[in-house]
Chains A and B, each alone.
Chain A
């Protein structure tokens, strides 16, 4: 069952990648505002010119 170690290592690697991403997101203030992002996507961009 040595292959377990490959799978666990591979899974851990991914988990570590995600952990890094998580820590990055915390430190870069991604989640400081948990209100406006949900609202923001509702505002569509105005169609400036349809002929293009």
Chain B
């Protein structure tokens, strides 16, 4: 019998970080929710404006709140299920502090406006590298623990953690291919439609493998523990795992239905999304059936209550997801608050409640005490549930209302509603949503207080003793054979190994070709951006305009009537990164170029409500004071050229004089309209970019 000690300290640290970042991330969420109703809350300074705070919110809740919770839960479960201490305490420490460092640097850099402009992958290249390093350390620590385990069988939770680690590593690396042009900024190596495809392949699988699979790992441990019953069907859980991971990875294209993506790719994404219903619901039902015979406990136990709602939300989100990936549904749901409601059912319900249930379970056990107040936890459950409902229902309503208004024509064939009318109509919904979010957020404070009091009355056990039999050796062949016998006479193993070799070779051979050779339908009139427009585009990315504006007009009558000719894939070939967006809080901007005079943009960006009464867009006063950084223009042009954008030879040296000329023309035009501004201000570059958008095709 071996005696050893579980490392509880690392679980405690990740647990505290979970709660701390959860409260911060939700606070930002509540703030941006109210900004959409009251634009004055943007405060007129860059760091608190929606476009910068929204990525901070998403990154904070996904990677800080949920991320730390996954590490907290998996470090607890790995040790207990595998009957061993974590592989290496130092790696655990580096993992913990490294991850917190990433979070802090990430939040700061996003507030400063350093973003890649790709949703949920906004962190810039130095942080991408840091994430890779820390993720690898987590992997070594996890696989090391698995190797030194005292229990031969890998419990199903472990499989979910392995699936998570492997896939997230690949997603992060493939999506982060970028070309740095300064010590902190880079351009995506992919352009336009290709960038969009990679990004949503990543985006979808980030939901699948960062927000879902690790949580199913937690579910398969904490639901049986909380109900004190074995999982309903262990066999089912294994089938669930393998089915889920083999299907999930192919569903990404459903984020790009009706876009310039090839038709067959869209269909493939839809088919796999529908197939996902089975494993997803298998998991949900397996969890819920586990509570069979214990439903009387659900009445009293806040942990079980939260787990039941969590699983129910998982079931709702995973039936809704496949439905949303049907083209006929997506035509209505895409770009609206429907999507926002959908993800928050998953985030607040499935992820959030699973996390709180886990913390309520873990803390009393690790501090050797009981929960300070069951009543308070029950109140948290109630407030949280009402919060979810008050969040989701208005958002669904807003989504339905807005999409129907967008598509409504009068009898004479005109669009019935101006875009702005469809926004002002749903502002009350935004307020209710904000209240729902606030309720959910206040629940987190109750949890923090309750857990703090629990900690105070208990005594923490840093190293918890445990005993287990060492792993017995499996029978090996009596004599060592030639190495190749491992695959000889084993056709399946042989086939798979050769497949891997071929695939690796294929990647090495094909990747460079793909990235240089572009055979997207070329449109002769589509030309690279001028240096000023390129700089303006980078401002568009910096201010997070893509969080509210799309640049992808789908081939629908209403969209063509409202915005102009539908978007063609050939129009985006110089877009590093693509800026299609996924939400139309404001109108589509792909054909905004030439629609309004420069002076309109000038006045609108400074004071949107003056130009469009009732608009919820923030104002951008700093663009009128800050001078455009032209010292970096040559580096940007050079980077674009390296990625195959056809600027003439040596253009990087001439770029700034062209930039100056173009900005002077715009400033002169403005001054003839009575607006006097220095041509070197940032707003001039942004106007240049907006006026260029979507115009090439008309030439």
Contact = CB atoms under 8 A, between A and B. Distances in A.
Interface of A: 1-7, 9-23, 25, 28, 30-31, 33-35, 37-42, 45-50, 52
Nearest to B261: A1
A32 B413 CA distance: 66
Contacts of A46: 467
B622 interface: no
**For the complex of A and B, 10 pairs with smallest distance between CB atoms:** A2-B514, A38-B230, A3-B194, A38-B234, A45-B466, A34-B235, A48-B465, A38-B231, A34-B234, A39-B230
Given A7-B197, A13-B504, A37-B153, 9 more contacts: A3-B198, A4-B197, A9-B507, A10-B170, A13-B170, A20-B500, A25-B154, A38-B231, A40-B151
Contact of A6 (B174, B261, B504): B174
B234 A52 contact: no
A50 to B, nearest CB: 6
B459 A50 contact: yes
Given A2-B513, A13-B170, A50 B461 contact: yes
B153 A33 contact: yes
Q: Is the interface of A mostly helix, strand, loop or mixed?
A: helix
B499 A52 contact: no
A9 B198 CA distance: 12
A18 B500 contact: no
B245 A18 contact: yes
Interface string B132-167: 000000000000000000011111100000110011
Nearest to B519: A2
A17 to B, nearest CB: 6
A35 B461 CA distance: 32
Among A15, A28, A46, A49, residue most surrounded by chain B Cβ atoms (within 10 Å):
A15
B510 A5 contact: yes
B490 to A, nearest CB: 9
B179 to A, nearest CB: 15
A31 B265 CA distance: 35
9 contacts: A1-B261, A4-B262, A6-B198, A10-B170, A23-B496, A34-B235, A38-B224, A41-B80, A42-B228
A9 B224 CA distance: 38
B513 A4 contact: no
A15 B246 contact: yes
A6 B363 CA distance: 44
Interface residues of B, number: 71
B426 interface: no
A19 B496 contact: yes
B163 A18 contact: yes
B193 A22 contact: no
B493 interface: yes
B520 interface: yes
B234 A35 contact: yes
Contacts of A35: 234
B499 A14 contact: no
A31 B159 CA distance: 12
B230 A42 contact: yes
B81 A1 contact: no
Contacts of B496: 16, 19-20, 23
A37 to B, nearest CB: 5
B465 A49 contact: yes
B5 interface: yes
A14 B514 contact: no
A15 B249 contact: yes
A32 B518 CA distance: 50
A46 B466 CA distance: 7
B238 interface: yes
Nearest to B229: A42
A52 B463 contact: yes
Among A13, A25, A33, A37, residue most surrounded by chain B Cβ atoms (within 10 Å):
A37
B225 interface: yes
Contacts of A48: 3, 465-467
B159 to A, nearest CB: 8
Interface string B308-320: 0000000000000
B250 interface: yes
Given A16-B496, A19-B496, A52 B5 contact: yes
Contacts of B3: 48
Contacts of A13: 170, 500, 503-504, 507
A51 to B, nearest CB: 9
Contacts of B198: 3, 6-7
A30 to B, nearest CB: 6
A6 B511 contact: yes
Nearest to B518: A2
A25 B246 CA distance: 15
Contacts of B464: 45, 47
B517 interface: yes
Nearest to B500: A16
Contacts of B513: 2
Among B249, B262, B265, residue most surrounded by chain A Cβ atoms (within 10 Å):
B249
Contacts of B193: 1
A6 B163 CA distance: 20
A30 B154 contact: yes
B153 A41 contact: no
Contacts of B463: 52
A52 B228 CA distance: 28
Interface string B491-521: 0110010011001101100110111011110
Contacts of B503: 9, 12-13, 16
Nearest to B153: A37
Contacts of B5: 52
Contacts of B80: 41, 45
A3 to B, nearest CB: 4
A6 B507 contact: yes
A18 B517 contact: no
A14 B167 contact: yes
Nearest to B465: A48
Contact of A1 (B194, B237, B252): B194
A41 B224 contact: yes
A31 B221 CA distance: 18
B201 interface: yes
Contacts of A18: 163, 166, 242, 245-246
A23 to B, nearest CB: 6
A23 B514 contact: no
A41 B262 contact: no
Contacts of A22: 242
B368 interface: yes
Contacts of A28: 152, 474
B132 to A, nearest CB: 15
